[in-house]
Chain A
């Protein structure tokens, strides 16, 4: 009761002219109901994640902070956007807006960022025509302006939107890594197309990735699948790919396709800092451990022989990993030098006329020595011997002894 009395006194003071509207709002202890003013709302945006297990299947729901998503304060009465902002890396936001005290408002979280550092959008797509659709958004509970100081938002799996926010969050990891690894302060925008029920396929093309949302195979929470497709974006904007595209299943295939797919899988592993590729589906899913698996080439085969994408990922991972648990003789613990061969060599250099025409593992190995020198000769030779890949160590920089 004393608090109500104080509020009433504050409101009375307002009414006699001390704070009747304008930019200042009511006194701190006054009831804001019906009082025009500038109000603030703060909160945290989270989404229900289903983190992949090492088997490839999805784990139980676990709320996760939603980093860098757009937020807007929406007036319930007319849908007007009162204020906009972006969540921080702790999922938090604060918005201030002009409203009438008590006015019903809600927070809209949008799986999109227009910040130059993280130019990401997650959109719907028309599965039949391929036409891009609307951005994914989720609305929180209604709050009263000036009355409720906080409004947290939890994007639920049951809404069908949590997958979109997970895709966005993985692409935040991608953009953050691009800025560091490739020194790109403003990466080229990347759009992801996904929605529950989407049977458009999972693939990358032209600065956009398409992700399945089908009942038998939904990639909305398959972090390494999302990151794998972003690996093709890296080839596209930071490096080079001559892959003919098409299906691939870990078996031996065109060396340009094997290189491109193996690099994309390795990129996913490097971003996560773990050598496991996981893909869930209605039957559980499957996984692949690039650190423990040893896929071999034909030791007497040509440099242009068909190879497995798995072998490419395994070689790259072994060159970049290190520390406790490293099972190879080459321990740098640094993936960036492996990744930078894309931008420092493959994108700009004339390739040696061996292997296939177009970028393949042989060209990347050439670039590895050109960009990193010959100190890794012994370690690289050891890893390639394990995989029985007959590289000739005759790179254009200077040959390994």
Chain B
């Protein structure tokens, strides 16, 4: 029995066939995950009531970077920081966008991390959320040298030296 024509049939022998029953199975899995107690009862840490993201586009000599922040509830003040620049806003409604744009100079072939932060709340009781964006060439960090060991009591350890 075949499913609707829109579905994909992968015929490679070493792969799962995407047949008509796969889609309902995915739906069931998603519903089960969304309603599972483990997902619902996660106890997260206190957060700042703001959504933050960084956007960038290449310009001559570097990148134009914008921090976009939107409080998740009405707040008395918003303070944005981006690459050393700061901008303060007065009371801001839930969902209202606040932005700060800077140009970051970058030599060809170079790379840098740009940090943006949005702090919201009342003076003296601000909470912030940060975002980091990599510009230019990727960071070249070699992972630390590590080895896996199993101790006599059965504990498995990743040892870094």
Contacts and interface: CB of A to CB of B under 8 A. Distances in A.
B45 A205 contact: no
B64 to A, nearest CB: 20
Interface residues of A, number: 62
Interface residues of B, number: 43
A84 B153 contact: yes
Interface stretch (B55-63, B102-110, B126-134): B126-134
B130 A228 contact: no
A205 B38 CA distance: 7
B42 interface: yes
Interface in A229-277: 229, 232, 241, 243-251, 260-261, 264-265, 277
A43 interface: no
B41 A283 contact: no
B136 to A, nearest CB: 16
Nearest to B48: A249
Contact of B43 (A136, A159, A261): A261
B161 A249 contact: no
Contacts of A133: 158
B157 A134 contact: yes
Given A215-B113, A293-B125, A249 B144 contact: no
A161 B47 contact: no
A204 interface: yes
Nearest to B81: A283
A229 B144 CA distance: 28
B45 A229 contact: yes
Q: State the main secondary structure of chain A at its contact with B.
A: mixed
A57 B38 CA distance: 31
Interface in B19-50: 38, 40-49
Contacts of B115: 216, 282-283
Contacts of A216: 115, 130-132
Given A243-B41, A245-B42, A265-B46, A285 B155 contact: no
Interface string B49-74: 10000000000000000000000110
Contact of A202 (B44, B126, B128, B158): B44
A112 B155 CA distance: 9
A137 B46 contact: no
B157 to A, nearest CB: 4
Contacts of B131: 216, 282
Q: State the main secondary structure of chain B at its contact with A.
A: strand
Interface in A161-211: 161, 201-206
B159 interface: yes
Contacts of B149: 74, 79, 81, 108, 137
B16 interface: no
Given A81-B151, A283-B81, A138 B159 contact: yes
A241 B40 CA distance: 13
A261 B38 contact: no
Contacts of A203: 42-45
A114 interface: yes
B5 interface: no
Tell which of A108, A229, A244 has the most Cβ of chain B within 10 Å. A108
Contact of A249 (B72, B117, B119, B156): B72
Tell which of B118, B119, B149 has the most Cβ of chain A within 10 Å. B149
Nearest to A217: B130
A110 B154 CA distance: 13
A396 interface: no
Nearest to A112: B155
Contacts of B157: 108, 110, 112, 134-137
15 contacts: A84-B151, A108-B157, A112-B157, A135-B156, A137-B159, A201-B44, A203-B44, A204-B42, A205-B42, A215-B132, A244-B41, A249-B47, A251-B73, A277-B46, A288-B127
Interface of A: 70, 72, 74, 79, 81, 84, 106, 108, 110, 112, 114, 124, 133-140, 159-161, 201-206, 215-217, 219, 225, 228-229, 232, 241, 243-251, 260-261, 264-265, 277, 279, 281-286, 288, 293, 309
Nearest first, the 7 closest Cβ-Cβ pairs linking A and B are A283-B117, A283-B130, A249-B49, A139-B161, A134-B158, A137-B157, A137-B159
